[in-house]
């Protein structure tokens, strides 16, 4: 079993450490806060702790490094680990600059080690079910997708809501609908801190008229994690806050009947059944962590690799540019 080190025991890092500990791969934790070290030492028996990242990359027993530090440190830490021949798992966003992400890809390829990005929802059984429905043509032609990722939660100073929340939804859109995106536009506002957007509405337009709209906010009375995909045959709603019924398939749409004098007369609404498919749920984070362990062990390409991470960062960069231009659409080249 590969030996894994987790760097950063913050809000998300502690969950990663918990899962890798359950999977019997957690060997070392790196954390600056001594209070957190004292806390987690009680839970992670037999695991070593350090406050120095150099201890992580210089430890020959460590096979894989999981970076859950603030995003501003992702590039620096990942580069050091890769240059030491360690496999690397970086939490989203991969980097804050797409050129830095491309540099990490080159280093990982040269070193012959996996580089994985924490796009968690691609490991979610419900999202994979939706992907299967789209690929089989059950939804027909997909018209548009919209998502809501809002909460009254952690307010960050080093990144806005766009960079903090949107990587999840962008990665899902790329997974479900492909990457032939033409333009990105975004509008948002800074209500709590100067130059840090708390609320953002992001739109991605594809070259086949397909649209994606993403609402993100950490200043909202509701906690919502939803996706809705509208197709010519059926529509699907995914609600990650639901315990069991995470997906509902709506047999609703608009039929185009031939033989009418005008186009408007040929349209009729269709209201069919609502189907709730049975999904064999496993914890997505556990599936993601197990996948990284397998990639480290077999030196194989991750499902969410560096190339995908860079695509998401490029979209974020263009969205940030649009934000500064008050929502003007910006061309994207992935």
Domains for the chain: give ranges and CATH numbers.
4-120+285-305 (3.40.50.720), 122-283+315-331 (3.30.360.10)
When pLDDT is cut at 50, 70 and 90, the band that residue 256 belongs to is low
Across 114-140, average pLDDT: 97
> Is pTM beyond 0.85 here?
yes
Alpha-carbon dihedral 289, 307, 53, 123, rounded to 10 degrees: -10
When pLDDT is cut at 50, 70 and 90, the band that residue 252 belongs to is confident
pLDDT of residue 273: 82
Across 88-105, average pLDDT: 98
Q: Give the bridge partners for 213, in sequence order.
A: 146, 203
Share of the chain above pLDDT 70, in %: 95
Angle at 323 between CA 198 and CA 218, to 5 degrees: 15
Alpha-carbon distance of 157 to 34, in angstroms, equals 22
Q: Give the bridge partners for 188, in sequence order.
A: 200
In the block, tokens 């939660």 appear at 153
Alpha-carbon distance of 64 to 196, in angstroms, equals 33
Alpha-carbon distance of 279 to 230, in angstroms, equals 21
The tokens describing 261, both together, are: 């004098």
Mean pLDDT of the chain: 94
Instruction: Indicate left, alpha or beta for 112 from its phi (over 0: left) and psi (-120 to 50: alpha).
Output: left
- Run of H or E residues at 31: none
pLDDT of residue 267: 56
Rounded to the nearest 10 degrees, the angle between the axes of helix 98-111 and helix 306-324 is: 170
The pLDDT tens digits of the residues spanning 3-39 come to 999 999 998 999 999 999 999 999 999 999 999 999 9
The pLDDT tens digits of the residues spanning 161-215 come to 999 999 999 999 999 999 999 999 999 999 999 999 999 999 999 998 999 999 9
The tokens describing 104, both together, are: 């990490």
Collapsing DSSP to helix, strand or coil, 148 comes out as strand
Largest CA distance in the chain: 77
Nearest to 187 by CA among 162, 164, 168, 210: 162
Q: How many CB atoms lie within 10 A of CB 41?
A: 13
The pLDDT tens digits of the residues spanning 318-328 come to 999 999 999 99
CB contact burial 213-236 (16+ within 10 A = b; e otherwise) = bbbbbbbbeeeebbbbbbbebbbb
pLDDT of residue 153: 79
């Amino acid at each position: 079993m590969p030996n894994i080190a987790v760097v950063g025991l913050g809000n998300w890092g502690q969950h990663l450490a918990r899962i890798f500990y359950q999977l019997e791969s957690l060997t070392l934790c790196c954390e600056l806060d001594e209070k957190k070290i004292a806390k987690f030492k009680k839970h992670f028996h037999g695991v070593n702790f350090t406050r120095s990242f150099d201890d992580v990359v210089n430890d020959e027993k460590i096979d894989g490094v999981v970076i859950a530090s603030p995003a501003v440190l992702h590039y620096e830490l990942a580069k050091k680990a890769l240059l030491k021949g360690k496999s690397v798992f970086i939490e989203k966003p991969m980097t804050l600059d797409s050129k830095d992400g491309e540099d990490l890809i080159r280093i990982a390829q040269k070193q012959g080690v996996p580089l994985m990005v924490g796009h968690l929802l691609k490991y979610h059984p419900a999202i994979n079910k939706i992907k299967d429905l789209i690929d089989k043509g059950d939804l027909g032609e997909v018209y548009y997708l919209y998502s809501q990722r809002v909460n009254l939660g952690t307010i960050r100073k080093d990144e806005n809501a766009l960079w903090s929340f949107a990587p999840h939804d962008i990665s899902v859109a790329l997974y479900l609908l492909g990457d032939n995106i033409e333009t990105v536009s975004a509008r948002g506002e800074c209500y709590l801190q100067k130059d840090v957007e708390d609320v953002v509405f992001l739109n991605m337009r594809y070259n086949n008229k397909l649209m994606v709209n993403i609402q993100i906010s950490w200043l909202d009375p509701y906690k919502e994690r939803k996706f809705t995909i509208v197709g010519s045959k059926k529509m699907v709603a995914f609600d990650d806050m639901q315990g069991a019924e995470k997906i509902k398939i709506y047999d609703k749409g608009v039929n185009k009947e031939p033989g009418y004098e005008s186009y408007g007369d040929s349209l009729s609404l269709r209201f069919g059944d609502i189907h709730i498919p049975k999904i064999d749920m496993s914890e997505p984070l556990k599936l993601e962590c197990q996948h990284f362990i397998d990639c480290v062990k077999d030196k194989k390409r991750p499902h969410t690799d560096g190339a995908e991470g860079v695509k998401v960062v490029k979209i974020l960069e263009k969205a940030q540019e649009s934000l500064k231009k008050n929502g003007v659409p910006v061309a994207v080249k992935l």
